[in-house]
Amino acid sequence: MDIYNYLKSLHLIFVITWFSGLFYMVRLFVYHAEAKQKAEPEQSILITQYQIMQYRLWYIITWPSAILASFFAYWMLFFTEIGQVWLTQPWMHVKLGFVFLLYLYHLKCHQIFLQLQKNEVKHTSGFFRLWNEGATIILFAVVFLVILKNAVNWIYGVVGIVLFSVLLMLGYKFYKRIRESKS
C-alpha cells in the first residue's frame, strides 16, 4: 500500500502539471491568433515571443508531464494489487476512455502548436477559447469518475460543466459585443 500511495501522489502531481500545460498552451494559442491581427512591428514582436513561450511550455512542461503521468498510472494499474482490482471495474474503463480522449486532444494541440511555430494561424481566437473547454470537460469527467467511482453518476458533473461552459461562452460573446460597440 505504501508504494501505491507514492505512485498515486506522483501520478496526481504530473496530471496537474499536464493539465496546467494544456490550459496555458491553448491560452497562448488565443494570444497568438490575436497577435496575428496586430500591425507591424507589434505583430512580429508578439508572435516571436509567443512562439518561444509555446515551445518551452510544450517541451519542458506539457509533454514530460503527460509522459510521467501516464508512466505512474501504468505502474499503479499493472504492478499493484489495488490497480489490478480497479482495472476490473466499469468506472475505470470509462476513465481510461476519457484519458484516451485527452491524448487525442493533446495530439491535436501538438498539431496546432507545430502550425503556430511556422506562424500558420488556421483558427480564430474564439475557436481557441472554445477549444480550451475540451480539456476542462475531460478534467471534470475524470475527477468525478475517480472520486465517485461510478460509471454513471459522473454524467451529472459533466452536464453541469458543459452548461457552465455554455454560460461562459455566452458571457464572452456578450462582453465582446459591449467591447466592440465602445470602439
Can you read off the three cell numbers belonging to residue 141? 469527467
At residue 10, the pLDDT reads 97
What whole-number distance in Å separates Cα of residue 10 and Cα of residue 109? 24
C-alpha triplet 50, 54, 59: angle, nearest 5°: 155
**What residues are designated binding site for heme?**
11, 95
Peptide bond into 41 cis (omega under 30): yes
Can you read off the three cell numbers belonging to residue 41? 512591428
- CB-based burial label for 22 (10 Å; 0-12, 13-18, 19+): buried
> Consecutive 10-residue runs of the chain (183 residues): their mean pLDDT?
90 98 98 96 97 98 98 94 90 92 98 97 92 89 85 74 81 83 79
Instruction: Indicate the number of domains in the chain.
Output: 1
**What residues are designated binding site?**
11, 95
Domain range spanning residue 78? Answer: 2-182
The model's pTM is: 0.86
User: What Å distances lie between residue 73 and 83, 110, 171, CA to CA?
Assistant: 9, 22, 37
